Amino acid sequence: MINMLKQHIDDDRCYRVIGTPPNSTLVGAGFMNKRYPHGIDWGGGVFRHFAACLVLRGKGSYIRQDGFEIPLQPGSVFFRIPGVSHSNLLDPESGWLEFFVAFELRSATPQNPGRASQQSLAVMARQILMLDVDHPVHRVALDGAMLHRCEAFLDLLKTGEQLNRATSEGLRLMMDWISESPPNIKADSMVDELCAILNENAGNRRPLPELATGFPLSYVRLRERFCARVGKSMGEYRLDCRMDKAEKMLRQGLTVKEVAYKLGYGDPFAFSKQFHQIAGVPPSQLFSKPSM
């Protein structure tokens, strides 16, 4: 998956289709990298567009208007619902990458020229897509098939396809995101704690059952619960954390050899081989100067 995403890293690509007056509806989509030093993606209030964002990489949170905070991670889909105030925070060190689909409906009346029709967007969100304002975050399986669908929709907009088709395809993508998995906003402190433990221990080789001790569940039950919530195994999650840490250190100028030993590899060659398998390029070529 990292290999498929690397073409979008540091290369934002967005397109939109706009109807001609009096129908000035806008449909947009794109891949966006967000490297905000302050970590604020949306500082609060009502978003101008109706949008859905699929998290491809990185960590953050969606904060509802009642202050309830929902964690965001790869595979999370969060909706910016018309008329619903919210805010978003991103981990500025997590390498955030998202794919978004957005709609804007404009009124062409002399009394209201160019103003977004929030009421029509609300109908789209709540009646057509049946979105619940208390459940703005869903989860989907983040795999190659999903990424190909996002790229195909973006290519559709790039060709300047008719607005009706762009609208229907965009809504279909949103509906599939909603129907694939029910919203999961309840905090699972047990899984969240385990995620933190796996991230902290990304650079060592302690057995997973050993890391999972101290929880009031058997390792088998805990593993199943983790997979159901996170969408990947504990081993895959720890490996993702390890590769994220490797990328950060390489970007900071550490050599391949230094990164390898800091992350618990027996030698730099083993690290380079695994990184190459996942990222598609050797670490020395992509981020750092050769060190071997």
- pTM value? 0.61
Q: Which fold has domain 189-286?
A: Arc Repressor Mutant, subunit A (1.10.10)
User: What are 199's two structure tokens?
Assistant: 């991230």
Low-confidence ranges of the chain (pLDDT < 50): 108, 110, 113-116, 184-185, 288-292
Q: Please report the pLDDT score of residue 98 as a whole number.
A: 92
* CA angle (10, 16, 17) in 5-degree steps: 165
Exposure string (b/e) for 200-229, b if CB count within 10 Å is 16 or more?
ebbbeeeebeebbeebeeebeebbebbeeb
Q: Please report the pLDDT score of residue 3 as a whole number.
A: 53
Q: Please report the pLDDT score of residue 289 as a whole number.
A: 45
What's the CA gap between 270 and 263, in Å, rounded?
Answer: 11
Q: Please report the pLDDT score of residue 214 as a whole number.
A: 84
Answer whether CATH 2.60.120.10 is correct for domain 2-180.
yes
Domain boundaries, the chain: 2-180, 189-286
DSSP state of 125: I
What's the CA gap between 246 and 65, in Å, rounded?
Answer: 36
